[in-house]
Amino acid sequence: MNSIPSTLRDIDGDWLSQALSEQAPGTRVREVEIVDAHSGTTGRGRLNVTYVDDRGLPKTLFVKLAPDDEKQRLFVASNGMGKREAMFYQGLYAEVPVRVPRCFFSSTDDSGEHYIMLLEDLEASGCSFRNSSERCSMDYARTLLSQFALLHARYWESPRLQKDLAWVEPPLQHEIGAELVGVALERFGREMSPVFRKMGELYVAEGNAIHQLWNRGAQTLVHGDVHDANLFFDKDVPGFMDWALICRTTGMRDVSFFLAGTLDTEDRRAHERELLVFYRECLLAAGVQAPPMEDLWRQYQWHTAYRWVGATCTLAMRDAWQPVEYARRSIDRINAALADLGSVASISEALNSASLA
């Protein structure tokens, strides 16, 4: 196989013919046309493909590859995001019990600086996408939680996490995280609610201990980044995109990420406890010895802060990763969740208990 293309422009008919021949031997591509391109956290694009003969391959492909900007490319390589997602699409994607884009080719170098995925064009497949301004119904929330439970139950304390899936590592703690939280505190702290400053100061001071706290509990495989922009719908079934933050940790990372970061604040306040009960019931139905509700609630308090850290780092980067307006809406919802749940106090208490043990 030829080297991994650095940009969409480097994908020509010869390279694509070789790549797609892994799916359909003897594939010959006549023409490749770039119809859409974007480079942010990672490079993305859509290709129109004309074949010499029809072997059942799609006429449009969605492409993910390294970003054009050198600094962003090095950042993605340093945290392994591109390499991790490429490895997911090299095989694991086909066995997870949730809807994901079909992959036609995936490759990465050892450094993770260069990678590429040729994926299903979901729009061409008739899939749809939510808008973050739409209110999330409780039926939809339950549907998504049931999908989380299917995913988590499949790998719940599985020996495979130490064997063939050992490459799925614990959540990354990047040193830039505390720096970006500090930047966000300085830029936005005065205009935010008090809980924003309290959480930020606690994370800057106790980041290592907080990351250890988040990993307490039964280990499983989690998506790690479930927000509106990473979801699609195949008819009424939710699907999951962007597996760059896949990791092994407690299932509550996915659950709290969604509930605290996506639900309307009033809906979350009214329904979050019953939704956690529903998630636990789904785990039990899947044969998992789920933790008691008391433990799940405590994990929910803790992991809501994980969602906060991600949104705060995104805000600190201004428009580089997500539009500031989008990040601000997320922060407002998560600040309210932190305050309602007493997350800062719960985390502080758990850290003090650990230090006294």
User: Are residues 143 and 96 located together in one domain of the fold?
Assistant: no
In a domain, 318, yes or no: yes
User: Are residues 198 and 340 located together in one domain of the fold?
Assistant: yes
Here the CATH number for the domain that contains residue 27 is 3.30.200.20
User: Are residues 97 and 241 located together in one domain of the fold?
Assistant: no
pLDDT over 70 at 318, yes or no: yes
Q: pLDDT tens for residues 287-297?
A: 999 999 999 99
Total domain count, the chain: 2
In a domain, 133, yes or no: no
Percent of the chain at pLDDT exceeding 70: 96
Give the Cα separation of 230 and 242 in Å (integer). 6
In a domain, 125, yes or no: no
Q: pLDDT tens for residues 335-357?
A: 999 999 999 999 999 999 876 55
User: Are residues 310 and 172 located together in one domain of the fold?
Assistant: yes
Contact 316, 184 (CB under 8 A): yes
User: Are residues 63 and 91 located together in one domain of the fold?
Assistant: yes
pLDDT over 70 at 1, yes or no: no
Strand partners, 38: 44
User: Are residues 104 and 177 located together in one domain of the fold?
Assistant: no
Q: pLDDT tens for residues 64-101?
A: 999 887 777 887 888 889 999 999 999 999 999 999 99
| Domain closes at, from 93, 120, 147 | 120
Q: How confident is the model at residue 71, as a pLDDT?
A: 78
In a domain, 132, yes or no: no
In a domain, 295, yes or no: yes
User: Are residues 115 and 172 located together in one domain of the fold?
Assistant: no
In a domain, 131, yes or no: no
User: Are residues 351 and 265 located together in one domain of the fold?
Assistant: yes
In a domain, 128, yes or no: no
In a domain, 228, yes or no: yes
User: Are residues 110 and 238 located together in one domain of the fold?
Assistant: no
User: Are residues 219 and 351 located together in one domain of the fold?
Assistant: yes
Give the Cα separation of 53 and 47 in Å (integer). 17
User: Are residues 225 and 314 located together in one domain of the fold?
Assistant: yes
Chain mean pLDDT for the chain: 91
Here the CATH number for the domain that contains residue 301 is 3.90.1200
User: Are residues 171 and 253 located together in one domain of the fold?
Assistant: yes
Q: Which residue type is seen at 345?
A: A
Identify the domain containing residue 160 by its residue range: 138-356
| Domain closes at, from 63, 90, 120 | 120
Q: How confident is the model at residue 135, as a pLDDT?
A: 63
